[in-house]
Chains A and B, each alone.
Chain A
Amino acid sequence: GAGVSQSPSNKVTEKGKDVELRCDPISGHTALYWYRQSLGQGLEFLIYFQGNSAPDKSGLPSDRFSAERTGGSVSTLTIQRTQQEDSAVYLCASSTGTFGGSPLHFGNGTRLTVT
Protein backbone atom coordinates (compact mmCIF):
# COMPACT_ATOMS: atom_id res chain seq x y z
CA GLY A 1 0.00 0.00 0.00
CA ALA A 2 1.01 3.62 -0.40
CA GLY A 3 3.04 5.18 2.33
CA VAL A 4 3.22 8.81 3.45
CA SER A 5 3.89 11.04 0.47
CA GLN A 6 5.53 14.46 0.71
CA SER A 7 6.06 17.09 -1.94
CA PRO A 8 8.21 18.65 -3.12
CA SER A 9 11.16 16.45 -2.20
CA ASN A 10 13.47 19.44 -2.48
CA LYS A 11 12.79 23.15 -2.32
CA VAL A 12 15.24 26.00 -2.70
CA THR A 13 13.86 29.44 -1.93
CA GLU A 14 15.14 32.92 -1.36
CA LYS A 15 15.08 34.47 2.06
CA GLY A 16 11.82 36.31 2.63
CA LYS A 17 9.71 34.17 0.31
CA ASP A 18 6.81 31.98 1.46
CA VAL A 19 6.83 28.20 0.97
CA GLU A 20 4.22 25.48 1.18
CA LEU A 21 5.05 21.88 1.97
CA ARG A 22 2.53 19.15 1.36
CA CYS A 23 1.89 15.84 3.10
CA ASP A 24 -0.39 13.04 2.00
CA PRO A 25 -0.75 10.56 4.88
CA ILE A 26 -1.53 6.88 4.76
CA SER A 27 -5.20 6.40 3.99
CA GLY A 28 -7.25 5.97 7.14
CA HIS A 29 -4.63 7.37 9.48
CA THR A 30 -6.30 9.92 11.73
CA ALA A 31 -3.16 11.30 13.35
CA LEU A 32 -0.69 13.43 11.42
CA TYR A 33 2.57 14.98 12.57
CA TRP A 34 5.12 17.43 11.29
CA TYR A 35 8.72 17.19 12.49
CA ARG A 36 11.87 18.81 11.21
CA GLN A 37 15.48 17.76 11.26
CA SER A 38 18.13 20.43 11.07
CA LEU A 39 21.69 19.52 10.13
CA GLY A 40 23.22 17.31 12.81
CA GLN A 41 20.14 17.49 15.00
CA GLY A 42 17.42 15.09 16.04
CA LEU A 43 13.82 15.23 14.97
CA GLU A 44 12.10 18.31 16.36
CA PHE A 45 8.33 18.09 16.90
CA LEU A 46 6.36 20.88 15.23
CA ILE A 47 2.64 20.09 15.27
CA TYR A 48 0.15 17.25 15.72
CA PHE A 49 -3.24 16.82 14.05
CA GLN A 50 -6.04 14.52 15.09
CA GLY A 51 -8.46 14.62 12.22
CA ASN A 52 -8.58 18.23 11.05
CA SER A 53 -7.87 19.81 14.41
CA ALA A 54 -4.45 20.54 15.87
CA PRO A 55 -4.55 20.01 19.62
CA ASP A 56 -0.80 20.48 19.90
CA LYS A 57 0.98 23.25 18.02
CA SER A 58 3.57 23.72 20.72
CA GLY A 59 6.54 22.97 18.47
CA LEU A 60 5.93 25.62 15.83
CA PRO A 61 9.04 27.86 16.14
CA SER A 62 7.37 31.18 15.37
CA ASP A 63 4.19 32.73 14.03
CA ARG A 64 5.72 32.51 10.54
CA PHE A 65 4.88 28.80 10.68
CA SER A 66 1.35 27.52 10.21
CA ALA A 67 -0.25 24.25 9.20
CA GLU A 68 -3.64 23.01 8.23
CA ARG A 69 -5.26 19.71 7.45
CA THR A 70 -8.36 19.28 5.35
CA GLY A 71 -10.75 16.37 4.95
CA GLY A 72 -8.85 14.46 7.60
CA SER A 73 -6.24 13.78 4.97
CA VAL A 74 -3.79 16.12 3.23
CA SER A 75 -1.84 18.60 5.32
CA THR A 76 0.06 21.71 4.30
CA LEU A 77 2.83 23.33 6.31
CA THR A 78 3.36 26.97 5.36
CA ILE A 79 6.40 29.03 6.24
CA GLN A 80 6.09 32.75 5.61
CA ARG A 81 8.99 35.12 5.08
CA THR A 82 11.51 32.28 5.20
CA GLN A 83 14.79 32.74 7.03
CA GLN A 84 18.06 30.88 6.62
CA GLU A 85 17.56 29.13 9.95
CA ASP A 86 14.43 27.51 8.48
CA SER A 87 16.67 25.36 6.29
CA ALA A 88 16.05 21.76 7.33
CA VAL A 89 14.38 18.53 6.30
CA TYR A 90 10.69 18.70 7.09
CA LEU A 91 9.21 15.29 7.84
CA CYS A 92 5.58 14.35 7.92
CA ALA A 93 4.30 11.24 9.69
CA SER A 94 0.94 9.61 10.21
CA SER A 95 -0.41 6.96 12.54
CA THR A 96 -3.65 5.24 13.35
CA GLY A 97 -3.73 7.33 16.49
CA THR A 98 -6.10 4.87 18.10
CA PHE A 99 -3.93 3.98 21.06
CA GLY A 100 -0.77 4.97 22.76
CA GLY A 101 2.31 3.45 21.23
CA SER A 102 1.01 3.57 17.67
CA PRO A 103 4.15 3.86 15.56
CA LEU A 104 4.56 6.89 13.36
CA HIS A 105 5.05 6.21 9.65
CA PHE A 106 7.22 8.84 8.04
CA GLY A 107 7.45 10.20 4.54
CA ASN A 108 10.81 10.87 2.90
CA GLY A 109 10.69 14.52 3.80
CA THR A 110 11.08 17.84 2.04
CA ARG A 111 14.57 19.29 2.10
CA LEU A 112 14.18 23.05 2.36
CA THR A 113 17.11 25.31 1.59
CA VAL A 114 16.75 29.04 2.17
CA THR A 115 19.39 31.08 0.37
Chain B
Amino acid sequence: DQQVKQNSPSLSVQEGRISILNCDYTNSMFDYFLWYKKYPAEGPTFLISISSIKDKNEDGRFTVFLNKSAKHLSLHIVPSQPGDSAVYFCAAGGTYKYIFGTGTRLKVLA
Protein backbone atom coordinates (compact mmCIF):
# COMPACT_ATOMS: atom_id res chain seq x y z
CA ASP B 1 0.00 0.00 0.00
CA GLN B 2 1.76 3.13 -1.24
CA GLN B 3 1.20 5.99 1.16
CA VAL B 4 3.05 8.48 -1.04
CA LYS B 5 2.55 8.45 -4.78
CA GLN B 6 4.17 10.24 -7.66
CA ASN B 7 2.04 9.22 -10.58
CA SER B 8 4.18 10.76 -13.32
CA PRO B 9 7.36 8.76 -13.80
CA SER B 10 8.78 11.36 -16.16
CA LEU B 11 8.35 14.94 -17.31
CA SER B 12 9.99 16.99 -20.06
CA VAL B 13 10.00 20.78 -19.98
CA GLN B 14 11.60 23.44 -22.13
CA GLU B 15 14.32 25.54 -20.56
CA GLY B 16 12.91 28.73 -19.03
CA ARG B 17 9.43 27.31 -18.60
CA ILE B 18 7.75 26.12 -15.41
CA SER B 19 8.18 22.54 -14.17
CA ILE B 20 5.39 21.19 -11.99
CA LEU B 21 5.97 17.95 -10.12
CA ASN B 22 3.08 16.36 -8.27
CA CYS B 23 2.75 14.14 -5.25
CA ASP B 24 -0.25 12.56 -3.51
CA TYR B 25 -0.44 11.00 -0.08
CA THR B 26 -3.01 8.99 1.81
CA ASN B 27 -2.19 9.47 5.49
CA SER B 28 -3.80 12.60 6.95
CA MET B 29 -1.48 12.33 9.96
CA PHE B 30 1.57 13.40 7.96
CA ASP B 31 2.86 16.72 9.31
CA TYR B 32 5.88 17.44 7.16
CA PHE B 33 6.59 17.16 3.48
CA LEU B 34 9.97 17.32 1.79
CA TRP B 35 11.26 17.40 -1.76
CA TYR B 36 14.57 15.91 -2.82
CA LYS B 37 16.55 15.96 -6.04
CA LYS B 38 18.72 13.03 -7.08
CA TYR B 39 21.41 12.84 -9.70
CA PRO B 40 22.73 9.44 -10.89
CA ALA B 41 25.21 7.77 -8.54
CA GLU B 42 24.58 10.40 -5.86
CA GLY B 43 22.39 10.46 -2.78
CA PRO B 44 19.20 12.53 -2.72
CA THR B 45 19.74 16.21 -1.96
CA PHE B 46 17.22 18.13 0.13
CA LEU B 47 15.48 20.94 -1.77
CA ILE B 48 12.59 22.37 0.19
CA SER B 49 10.06 21.43 2.84
CA ILE B 50 6.66 22.46 4.07
CA SER B 51 4.76 21.77 7.26
CA SER B 52 1.08 20.98 7.40
CA ILE B 53 0.27 24.36 8.94
CA LYS B 54 1.27 26.12 5.75
CA ASP B 55 0.02 25.92 2.19
CA LYS B 56 3.02 27.42 0.43
CA ASN B 57 6.76 27.69 0.91
CA GLU B 58 9.16 29.40 -1.45
CA ASP B 59 12.93 29.26 -1.83
CA GLY B 60 14.37 30.97 -4.87
CA ARG B 61 13.18 29.19 -8.00
CA PHE B 62 11.48 26.46 -5.97
CA THR B 63 7.98 26.69 -4.50
CA VAL B 64 6.08 23.92 -2.79
CA PHE B 65 2.30 24.02 -2.51
CA LEU B 66 0.30 21.89 -0.08
CA ASN B 67 -3.41 21.14 -0.41
CA LYS B 68 -4.30 19.23 2.74
CA SER B 69 -7.92 18.63 1.86
CA ALA B 70 -6.84 16.96 -1.39
CA LYS B 71 -3.79 15.33 0.22
CA HIS B 72 -1.72 16.73 -2.61
CA LEU B 73 1.49 18.66 -2.89
CA SER B 74 3.38 20.03 -5.81
CA LEU B 75 6.82 21.44 -6.52
CA HIS B 76 7.11 24.32 -8.97
CA ILE B 77 10.44 25.20 -10.53
CA VAL B 78 10.56 28.55 -12.31
CA PRO B 79 12.41 29.11 -14.55
CA SER B 80 13.55 25.57 -15.30
CA GLN B 81 17.23 25.12 -16.14
CA PRO B 82 19.07 22.20 -17.79
CA GLY B 83 20.87 21.58 -14.48
CA ASP B 84 17.51 20.82 -12.92
CA SER B 85 17.36 17.58 -14.90
CA ALA B 86 17.26 14.88 -12.23
CA VAL B 87 14.89 12.55 -10.41
CA TYR B 88 12.69 14.33 -7.86
CA PHE B 89 11.30 12.56 -4.82
CA CYS B 90 8.63 13.79 -2.47
CA ALA B 91 8.57 12.51 1.10
CA ALA B 92 5.95 12.74 3.82
CA GLY B 93 6.27 12.12 7.51
CA GLY B 94 5.68 12.97 11.11
CA THR B 95 8.23 13.52 13.81
CA TYR B 96 11.02 11.35 12.47
CA LYS B 97 10.09 8.87 9.74
CA TYR B 98 9.62 9.79 6.10
CA ILE B 99 7.85 7.79 3.43
CA PHE B 100 9.16 8.49 -0.06
CA GLY B 101 7.43 8.41 -3.41
CA THR B 102 8.84 6.54 -6.39
CA GLY B 103 10.19 9.69 -8.03
CA THR B 104 9.63 11.71 -11.18
CA ARG B 105 12.41 12.05 -13.73
CA LEU B 106 12.55 15.65 -14.94
CA LYS B 107 14.30 16.51 -18.18
CA VAL B 108 14.80 20.16 -18.99
CA LEU B 109 15.42 20.67 -22.68
CA ALA B 110 17.83 23.39 -23.78
- A residues with a Cβ closer than 8 A to B are 4, 31, 35, 40-45, 48, 50, 56, 91, 93, 97, 100-101, 103-109
Contacts and interface: CB of A to CB of B under 8 A. Distances in A.
Contact of A35 (B4, B49, B95, B100): B100
Nearest to B90: A42
25 contacts: A4-B43, A31-B96, A35-B100, A41-B102, A42-B4, A43-B91, A44-B100, A45-B98, A45-B99, A48-B97, A56-B97, A91-B44, A93-B43, A97-B96, A100-B51, A100-B93, A100-B95, A100-B96, A101-B32, A103-B46, A103-B49, A104-B98, A105-B46, A106-B44, A108-B41
A43 B96 contact: no
Interface residues of B, number: 27
B45 interface: yes
Interface of B: 4, 6, 31-32, 34, 36, 41-46, 49, 51, 89, 91, 93-103
Most buried by B among A40, A56, A106, A107: A106
A31 B98 CA distance: 13
A109 B40 CA distance: 11
Contacts of A45: 97-100
